[in-house]
Chain A
Amino acid sequence: MSSLFGTMSVALQAMLAQQSALEVVANNVANANTPGYSREVAVMEESPPILSGNTMVGTGVTMSSVESVRDDILNLRIQQETSQQSSLNSYVNSMNQVEALFNETQGTGLQTYLSNFFNSFQSLATNPTSSSLRQSVLTAGQDLAGAFSQTSQNLATIQQGLDQSVVQTVQQVNQLTAQVAKLNQQIQDVSNSGDNPGSLEDQRDEDLSKLSNLIDTAVVYSNDGTVSVTTTNGALLVAGNQSDALTTQINCSTGMHGVFAQGKDITSSITGGELQGYISARDDSIPSAQSSLDNLAAGLISAVNKQQNNGYDLNGSSGVDFFTPFTSSTPGFNAGAAATMAVALTNPDEVAASSDGSLGDNGNATALADLQNQPIVSGQTAGDYYSNLIDQVGNDVSNATSEQEAVGLVLQQLTNQQASISGVSLDEEATNLVMYQRAYEASARVISVVDELNQASIDMFTPS
């Protein structure tokens, strides 16, 4: 048999439940603009009924839990795409600097120097004894060598900068993985004590999303509420409350920092995030441009020197090397040829314009000029080889840019989808607010009615 006091307690419990639900609404509204926040819903549950006589009577409501509304699979997809996008962003930003070094569209590349150099020999052929034309040849050669070495050094500087970025990014990765491990621990503790770890999970999601900006990640959600994080190739980053810090170490053969996980070099198996963008530009695109530049320089040096040796200078002596000869430390590789390119001649008289030793002969000047149309680098003319280099650098950037746009669109859709699930809608919250408010008011009304009834019962015994 139920009592008035029982009814009152049902109403009281209902008031408490609605109040808690209002708190959830308040929290949602408060976090409407918080990045990474997933809206929460109050889960209301009927209190277990009791047997009253022969009938089961309800005992009201309790708010059993607060649930965050999120789609973990969707979040994973977003992290993967984010990772891809960050990689492309950092790659494109790095390569834009490289692109600027060869900017032929603004006429600031090597083409002008190449043309001027060969033209100076053409010009000399019309008057091979002219000291001013000889000086022009020397100057054009110095300008060309200077441009090659400057470009090569600038490439190296960009590469060094990227190497620093790699080291810094690894440090950021380590900070985030440590943070995720710590949150794992806290989430587990909160869950164990039966509370909702939603806000901690949001924080962890935010960290995981930052992490996927830096490096490709594979996240596995465990039943105990913790996540374990590895790179997509399986290098362990976080397991439970432990994080494994990545380390960097100079690779002796490249002079650049390698990335190590538990002592194993994972540099080339990183497939996403800023880190990959930096590494890809640092280890593939820039070395490739650098090596083309070196090949071109080495081809020019050797062809010009050879032709110069075939001729005779203004004093009738055999021509000496025009450029400082380049000797490769590794056969077949011309590393350093561009960086060290320099004119060896100091006296304009030493330009070997003559092909037979007579003073006014121009045969060798013409031959030197004609090197422009000779296949002197990998079976190509200097111009064609350089034009291929331009094409390569341009394509590196433009391919990445196209991909960047595509990934951006996918990410935009995924983010919209995520927001449609987890985003806070103020209209929805207003509706809930009214709903809980009314329920609260109604419960209060119940209490006041029961109170009146109680009063009536008590008054029954009051002498009138």
Chain B
Amino acid sequence: MGIRVDPNVYSVILSGLQTNAQQQDQALEQVSSGQKLNSLSDNPAAAASLVNLRMQSSSDTQYLQNITSLTGSMNVADSALTSVVTALTTAQSLGVEGANGTVNTQNRQALAQQVQGIQQEILGLANTTYNGQYLFSGTKTTTEPYVADAASPSGVTYNGDNNSNSVDISEGQAMPINLPGSQLFSNAITGVFQSLQDLYTALNTNGDISGATTEVQNALNYVSAQQTFYGNSVDRLNNAKTFLTQEQTQLTEAEGSTLDVDMATAVTNLTQAETTQQALVEAGAKISQTDLFDYLSSS
């Protein structure tokens, strides 16, 4: 007597087909979505790391946006200061010209007029804005930093503050983004406005023109030196940008390797599942359709 087996072979085929359908389903989902992770339970650890990767990637995108906007404002400030330096250079040469003993009063006063024009030009430059924010008013970015004030010895009043803002340009790396006007233009020793006002007065009154010219020269040197802050900052921003872009590429790759399915593998899996299904169905069809009853009835 042989061992009795499950007389219903179809139940085996059926459960084989069901298991296969699941595999086929999964492979199809992977191929159609292009993702090997389609729900958290596909790989919980990978899904969790995906959260961290995306948080970081999203922060980096934000830092890059900050950098773009800061680079804009830094460049505007930098070129404003370049113009200030150029204007001061002009003022300084006017002073040298005025200090020459051969210049008559009329010419000196004409020079004084030009110095006054330069004063106004620099006043405008000191009030430069970017995106509606004043660049040289410290943190009081909505207040116009300098207004002409005849009562003031320097000819202007500073309405900004002495502070500066810092912005994060990558995780844990904050960068000061501005120098207050008080530091750039109204410094007590080498004040831009004060030196111009002094030169103007000296030219008008034939006072200590060469002393005032030296003051302008000092102010020019000082502003030039301060200007490197902006140049350096733009360099720093560019470096940070390069770093963040690289990091983002790496994060995107990491995200991709976590999430994206290897299409070749997925398609192979799908094909295999299809082949298996085909084989099962054929096996099912080939299972003897006859049993002993067929042979008995023929007699």
Rounded to whole angstroms, the CA-CA distance of A118 and B137 in the bound complex is 27
For B39, what are the chain A residues with a Cβ–Cβ distance below 8 Å?
96, 99-100, 103, 105, 394, 397
Rounded to whole angstroms, the CA-CA distance of A116 and B296 in the bound complex is 78
Are B12 and A416 closer than 8 Å at their CB atoms?
A: yes
Rounded to whole angstroms, the CA-CA distance of A107 and B174 in the bound complex is 30
In B55-85, which residues have CB < 8 Å from any A CB?
Answer: 55, 58-59, 61-63, 65-66, 69-70
Rounded to whole angstroms, the CA-CA distance of A356 and B140 in the bound complex is 11
User: B282 an interface residue at 8 Å Cβ cutoff?
Assistant: no
User: A328 an interface residue at 8 Å Cβ cutoff?
Assistant: no
Rounded to whole angstroms, the CA-CA distance of A433 and B259 in the bound complex is 62
User: B11 an interface residue at 8 Å Cβ cutoff?
Assistant: yes
For A122, what are the chain B residues with a Cβ–Cβ distance below 8 Å?
59, 62-63, 66, 167-168
User: A424 an interface residue at 8 Å Cβ cutoff?
Assistant: yes
Are A419 and B62 closer than 8 Å at their CB atoms?
A: no
A189 shortest CB reach to chain B, Å: 32
Are B55 and A111 closer than 8 Å at their CB atoms?
A: yes
- The chain A residue with its CB closest to the CB of B55 is A383
Are A123 and B62 closer than 8 Å at their CB atoms?
A: yes
- The chain B residue with its CB closest to the CB of A101 is B40
With beta carbons under 8 angstroms apart, the residue of B37, B51, B59, B174 that contacts A118 is B59
User: B21 an interface residue at 8 Å Cβ cutoff?
Assistant: no
User: A229 an interface residue at 8 Å Cβ cutoff?
Assistant: no
Kindly specify which of B2-10, B97-105, B200-208 makes contact with the partner chain. B2-10
Give 1 or 0 for each of A29-58: 1 = CB within 8 Å of chain B CB: 000000000000000000000000000000
Assuming A125-B167, A361-B165, A373-B172, is B291 touching A390 (CB within 8 A)?
no
For A395, what are the chain B residues with a Cβ–Cβ distance below 8 Å?
41, 44
Are B4 and A359 closer than 8 Å at their CB atoms?
A: no
User: A129 an interface residue at 8 Å Cβ cutoff?
Assistant: yes
A to B CB contacts below 8 Å, 5 in the list: A99-B39, A119-B59, A358-B138, A390-B51, A427-B292
For A459, what are the chain B residues with a Cβ–Cβ distance below 8 Å?
none
Assuming A104-B51, A423-B6, is B140 touching A115 (CB within 8 A)?
no
Rounded to whole angstroms, the CA-CA distance of A204 and B142 in the bound complex is 85
For A424, what are the chain B residues with a Cβ–Cβ distance below 8 Å?
7
Are A434 and B167 closer than 8 Å at their CB atoms?
A: no
Rounded to whole angstroms, the CA-CA distance of A360 and B134 in the bound complex is 10
Give 1 or 0 for each of B105-133: 1 = CB within 8 Å of chain A CB: 00000000000000000000000000111
With beta carbons under 8 angstroms apart, the residue of A104, A111, A123, A370 that contacts B65 is A123
User: A388 an interface residue at 8 Å Cβ cutoff?
Assistant: yes
A205 shortest CB reach to chain B, Å: 17
A86 shortest CB reach to chain B, Å: 16
Are A115 and B168 closer than 8 Å at their CB atoms?
A: no
With beta carbons under 8 angstroms apart, the residue of B51, B143, B171 that contacts A387 is B51
A-B contacts besides A112-B58, A362-B166, 19 pairs, CB < 8 Å = A104-B51, A112-B54, A125-B167, A127-B141, A360-B139, A363-B166, A366-B174, A370-B168, A386-B51, A390-B40, A390-B47, A391-B47, A394-B43, A395-B44, A420-B3, A420-B6, A424-B7, A425-B4, A430-B291
User: A398 an interface residue at 8 Å Cβ cutoff?
Assistant: yes
User: A106 an interface residue at 8 Å Cβ cutoff?
Assistant: yes
Are B140 and A358 closer than 8 Å at their CB atoms?
A: yes
Are B292 and A431 closer than 8 Å at their CB atoms?
A: yes
Give 1 or 0 for each of A104-135: 1 = CB within 8 Å of chain B CB: 11110101101110110011011111100000
User: B48 an interface residue at 8 Å Cβ cutoff?
Assistant: yes
For A116, what are the chain B residues with a Cβ–Cβ distance below 8 Å?
58
With beta carbons under 8 angstroms apart, the residue of A107, A123, A384, A421 that contacts B52 is A384
Rounded to whole angstroms, the CA-CA distance of A129 and B129 in the bound complex is 13
**In this complex, which of B35, B51, B131 has the most chain A Cβ atoms within 10 angstroms of its Cβ?**
B51
- The chain B residue with its CB closest to the CB of A398 is B41
Rounded to whole angstroms, the CA-CA distance of A354 and B47 in the bound complex is 37
The A interface, classified by DSSP as helix, strand, loop or mixed, is helix
Rounded to whole angstroms, the CA-CA distance of A393 and B47 in the bound complex is 10
Assuming A127-B131, A430-B293, is B166 touching A366 (CB within 8 A)?
yes
For B11, what are the chain A residues with a Cβ–Cβ distance below 8 Å?
415-416, 419
Are B8 and A126 closer than 8 Å at their CB atoms?
A: no
Rounded to whole angstroms, the CA-CA distance of A22 and B141 in the bound complex is 104
Rounded to whole angstroms, the CA-CA distance of A363 and B168 in the bound complex is 11
Rounded to whole angstroms, the CA-CA distance of A96 and B212 in the bound complex is 81
Are B7 and A99 closer than 8 Å at their CB atoms?
A: no
With beta carbons under 8 angstroms apart, the residue of B7, B55, B141, B167 that contacts A115 is B55
A155 shortest CB reach to chain B, Å: 14
For B47, what are the chain A residues with a Cβ–Cβ distance below 8 Å?
104-105, 390-391, 394
With beta carbons under 8 angstroms apart, the residue of A100, A105, A128, A423 that contacts B50 is A105
Give 1 or 0 for each of B131-156: 1 = CB within 8 Å of chain A CB: 11100011111110000000000000
Q: Interface size bucket, B side?
A: 35 or more
Rounded to whole angstroms, the CA-CA distance of A395 and B3 in the bound complex is 43
In B9-39, which residues have CB < 8 Å from any A CB?
Answer: 11-12, 15, 35, 37-39
Are B8 and A423 closer than 8 Å at their CB atoms?
A: yes
Are A420 and B54 closer than 8 Å at their CB atoms?
A: no
With beta carbons under 8 angstroms apart, the residue of B40, B59, B293 that contacts A105 is B40
User: B161 an interface residue at 8 Å Cβ cutoff?
Assistant: yes
Are B54 and A111 closer than 8 Å at their CB atoms?
A: yes
Assuming A126-B70, A362-B167, is B291 touching A105 (CB within 8 A)?
no
Closest 10 CB pairs of A and B: A394-B44, A360-B141, A394-B40, A430-B292, A397-B41, A425-B7, A115-B58, A391-B48, A398-B41, A419-B6
With beta carbons under 8 angstroms apart, the residue of A358, A421, A427 that contacts B163 is A358
- The chain B residue with its CB closest to the CB of A360 is B141
In A434-452, which residues have CB < 8 Å from any B CB?
Answer: 434
B219 shortest CB reach to chain A, Å: 26
- The chain B residue with its CB closest to the CB of A400 is B41
With beta carbons under 8 angstroms apart, the residue of A99, A105, A125, A430 that contacts B168 is A125
In B204-227, which residues have CB < 8 Å from any A CB?
Answer: none
For A434, what are the chain B residues with a Cβ–Cβ distance below 8 Å?
296
A381 shortest CB reach to chain B, Å: 9
Rounded to whole angstroms, the CA-CA distance of A189 and B106 in the bound complex is 138
Rounded to whole angstroms, the CA-CA distance of A127 and B55 in the bound complex is 23
With beta carbons under 8 angstroms apart, the residue of A96, A372, A419 that contacts B7 is A419
Rounded to whole angstroms, the CA-CA distance of A269 and B231 in the bound complex is 72
For B40, what are the chain A residues with a Cβ–Cβ distance below 8 Å?
99, 102-105, 390, 393-394, 397-398
In A332-388, which residues have CB < 8 Å from any B CB?
Answer: 354, 356, 358-363, 366, 369-370, 372-373, 383-384, 386-388
With beta carbons under 8 angstroms apart, the residue of A106, A373, A386 that contacts B171 is A373
For B165, what are the chain A residues with a Cβ–Cβ distance below 8 Å?
125, 128, 360-363
For A398, what are the chain B residues with a Cβ–Cβ distance below 8 Å?
40-44
Are A421 and B4 closer than 8 Å at their CB atoms?
A: yes
For B292, what are the chain A residues with a Cβ–Cβ distance below 8 Å?
426-427, 430-431
**In this complex, which of B133, B138, B161, B292 has the most chain A Cβ atoms within 10 angstroms of its Cβ?**
B292
